[in-house]
Amino acid sequence: MLTPDEFRAHYLASGSGDKPRDHERLDLIRAVLAEEATWAEPQQQVADGLLAAVGKDRVSSVTEAPSAPRRRWPVVVAAVGSAAAVVALVFSTISVLDSENETLLAMTGTDIEPDATGQAAVRPTGSGWWIRLDLTGLPPAPDGAFYEGWVWSDEGDGVSIGTFHLRGAQEPVILWSGVEMADYPSIWVTLENEDEGPEASDLVVVTGRMPDLPEA
């Protein structure tokens, strides 16, 4: 395998018809990634120079880039790399965050999990009903099992609205319903076995019921 210096010399010495082959480029990438220095923080002037160059490239109307902020390089890289994801997340949730048509309902544990309690926040959106569960006292689902949310009609029909297991940090659970909550006003959470079918089990652990509904 070519060392980085050997690769550079080979590349610079080659003519337009004798560029390094693909496997040589891959070898260089592997070598560079394996170097400890690759992951070290560069000198501040290097980071400043690159940031200034990026600024000139992004703003064509500015003839001289302003001084780059002095900050740790890994933080800059992380911020640039995550910017697109942050923008996508903001726009994907803005309709939910802006909605004022939110209904809150109490969630209570059954005899199976009497210590479970919490509330559900329900909002109509353009793609269905957004449902957020804030629960306490409900233990994580055991290995080989999971919790499943349902909306249930008074006629005894249920529609799944998502699954979760609570095996991480305590945090809200976001579920979605594609059917009208007026027709399926009850929210249930069941404990399901991974080896069983898609039907709701008899192990209902938390229940709640919608009060007056907002206009969809």
Residue 7 confidence (pLDDT)? 52
Q: Give residue-wise pLDDT tens across range 11-48.
A: 555 544 444 455 555 566 666 566 665 556 555 655 56
Which pLDDT belongs to residue 170? Answer: 74
Q: List, in order of start, the domains of the chain with CATH numbers.
A: 4-94 (no CATH), 103-209 (2.60.40.200)
Residues paired with 160 in a beta bridge:
150
The contacts of residue 205 (CB under 8 Å, 6+ apart) are 109, 110, 112, 113, 116, 138, 147, 189, 190, 191
pTM: 0.55
Strand partners, 103: 122
Q: What is the largest CA-CA distance in the chain?
A: 80
User: How far apart (Å, rounded) are the C-alpha atoms in residues 160 and 75?
Assistant: 41
Tell me the C-alpha distance between 211 and 181, whole Å. Answer: 10
Alpha-carbon span 155 to 183, nearest angstrom: 9
- Give the C-alpha separation, 166 to 138, whole Å: 8
Instruction: Kindly report, residue by residue over 77-111, the tens digit of the pLDDT.
Output: 444 444 444 434 443 444 444 446 899 999 999 99
* CA–CA distance, 100 with 107 (Å, rounded to integer): 21
